[in-house]
Structures are given as structure tokens and as C-alpha cells.
Chain A
Amino acid sequence: MDILQTPATNKPASDEQILELLRSDRTFERGFRLLMSQYKERLYWHIRRLVLVHEDADDVLQNTFIKIYKGILQFEGKSKLYTWLYRIATNEAITYLQSKARHAAASLDDTTTLLTNRLQADEWFDGDEVQVKLQKAIAQLPEKQRLVFNLRYYDEMSYEEMSAMLDTSVGALKASFHHAVKKVEAVFREV
């Protein structure tokens, strides 16, 4: 069936339909807009929970989409599209946090404090005491553990999907998540 002649419906476009539009110069922009509308919310929340502050999340998300715009034709389809998109978004967010930490010449502890302080100052965060405590506890996790925790706890990604995205075995991811849960809970109780 020709995608271009399909009448507009509320049904979300499949990855295959998006990729087909992206393959032609004539329909590239339409395909890219479709990709953004399909994934912008999921990618935003994934990024937001890593960088915490809306302004930073917006910046990182836009950078992510520009990277995707430039590189989408190199996507070979060996993995699922959303896996590839998540990977780019994750790399962008981590690079952003690292550059922030470098800029502030901060240690991990300092970076955690920096993040949570910024979160509390963010006008787009109105969490109560419990929610602030939880974010502080998550922010204290090492980078990879924090990523695994967020993907599972907030994005509710399956271990198989996480395995494809992070190139890590399902067993290692399960262990990492459980370990992270225990740490967060311990800090959560302390704070």
C-alpha cells in the first residue's frame, strides 16, 4: 500500500512507514516530522529524567533530533528504530551531564548536588518532599546504573529491549536494576 496515498488517520505510523518516507528526498521532511511526533514525548521524558531540569532536557532533545536528522539515512535497520533513537538520546544526555560536570570541575558527589539543586530551582518541577527525596536518591547512582534504573522504573522498558539498546546481557541488566533499587531505597530512607 502506498503510504503517501493513505488518508490521514489517528493510527500511529509504523517505523517502516516512517523509514519509507525518509528514504525519498520528496517526502523526507514529512517522514521526519512523523518521526518526531511519534517519539518526541518518549525521548523527552527519557532525557528529562537523566538531566532533571526542563531547560536542559529541551536543549538535549533538540540536539538529539538534529543528530537524528543528520544521521537517519545511516540507520541500517539492524536494530529497532526506537532502540537507535534512545541510544542517541542517551549519549546526548550523558555527554551533556559530563560537560556540565567538567565545566563546574565537580566530582560525582558535587554533580549530584548540582543536579538536585538545579531541580529544586526548576520552575517546571513541583514535586513534593517524597519526590525530591526520590530524585536525590536516583541522582546518587553511578551513571550506568541510573540509566538502567530509569529505563526500567520510569520508561518500563523490558530487559530484552534494554539489552538491545545498551549491548548488555539481560541477566546483567536484571542484577544492575535490583542493585539500583536497593541503593535508591536505602538512600531514600536516609534522606
Chain B
Amino acid sequence: MKPEKVSFMKKELLDDELKEHSPLLRDAKKQGDGFRLPEGYFEALEDAVFSRVDSAGVRRKPVLETRRGGLFGRFSRSGIAWAAAAVFVVVLAAAWFFKTRFAQPSAPVATTQQELTAEEIETYVVENIQDFDASLIAAVPVGELVPPETKSATPIEHNPAASDPLDDLSDEELELLLKEMSDEELENLLKT
């Protein structure tokens, strides 16, 4: 039976019922009820409801359907992303391994040595002196183990082991110089 026909029958039954029990209300019904609506109310209602659903934080998020069949169809998107990341890490690790294992060890060292100045190497050795093997340190000439700051604080002209200007003087000149010097000046010269 069609719904329109059912509705018509219901109406007819109600009409009969009212006719029997209250003809007054039957007539009043035909005049309508006086209720009105804002224009476009029902069209805007759905969005208004969804807006309130959002405000209440209860909106259901649509789930993307995973593809069935095919090689990647069996996995979710996040699964594929994790697999790709794992492959990338393995490739990177393999590249690093082969590079370090088969590269000539002396080449980069030599390059490094060429790029560093003698002063930088010396600073490095002095700063890391405790890390060096004792026999290696013993093999280095003593003068080369002097810390750079010590060396810079000790000007070359004051080093008694280095060339002294007094050495260039003849005995006569030296004797003459000593005669002209005061005791105090002589004392100072001996201290240095």
C-alpha cells in the first residue's frame, strides 16, 4: 500500500473521529494553526546542527577506506610510511658502513694534516697530552713539548739558550761595556 494512501486513510479516520466527537475542533483544524517559520529555516538547520556538534567536540571523523587487493592495498597509509622510513635508515646505514670500511684510512688523515697549521697541531697535542702514549711522548724532542702559552710568554730574545747579543761582542768590547755599566744594570743582566 502506498504511503500517500495510508496518510489519506489516517486523515479520513481522524476526520470521522472529530466529526463524531467535536465538530468544533474539526472546523478549527481546517483553519490552520497560525504558526509560521523564518524563510529558509529548514535549509539552514543541518549546518546549524553540525556547527553545534563541532562545538560540543563530538563530531565523528570520516575514516578513509583502505584499498582491498594489490600489493599495497593490504597495508594502511601509516604502515607504508613506517616501512619507507625503515628502508631509508637501512640504506643510509649501509652507505656509511661501506664508505668507512673500504675507504683508504691514510688519505683523510693526510688531508687533515695538510689543512692544519703547525700551531694548531701543537695546541691540540698540548691540550690532549694526557691521551698520548707515554712512549710516544718520550720520543718527541723536549723543546717541542713546551706549551704555546709558555712559549709566547717567553720572548726569544730573553732565552739564554738562544742567540745572545753579548755573544757577538769581542772581549775588549765586552770589557768596555762592563766598565760602563752600573752594578744595578749588571745585576739585571745576570738575572735574565
Contact = CB atoms under 8 A, between A and B. Distances in A.
B22 A66 contact: no
Interface in A170-187: 178, 181-182, 184-185
A29 B60 contact: yes
Sort A-B residue pairs by CB-CB distance and give the 5 closest, nearest first. Answer: A127-B34, A131-B34, A25-B63, A65-B49, A124-B36
B45 interface: yes
A115 B18 CA distance: 26
A127 B33 contact: yes
23 contacts: A25-B61, A33-B46, A40-B46, A41-B42, A49-B35, A54-B36, A61-B45, A62-B52, A66-B53, A66-B56, A124-B35, A124-B38, A125-B36, A126-B36, A131-B31, A134-B25, A135-B33, A153-B18, A156-B7, A156-B11, A182-B22, A185-B24, A185-B25
Interface of A: 25-26, 28-29, 33, 36-37, 40-41, 44-45, 48-49, 54, 58, 61-62, 65-66, 69-70, 124-128, 130-132, 134-135, 152-154, 156-158, 178, 181-182, 184-185, 188-189
A75 B25 CA distance: 37
A130 B14 contact: no
A66 B49 contact: yes
Contacts of B63: 25-26
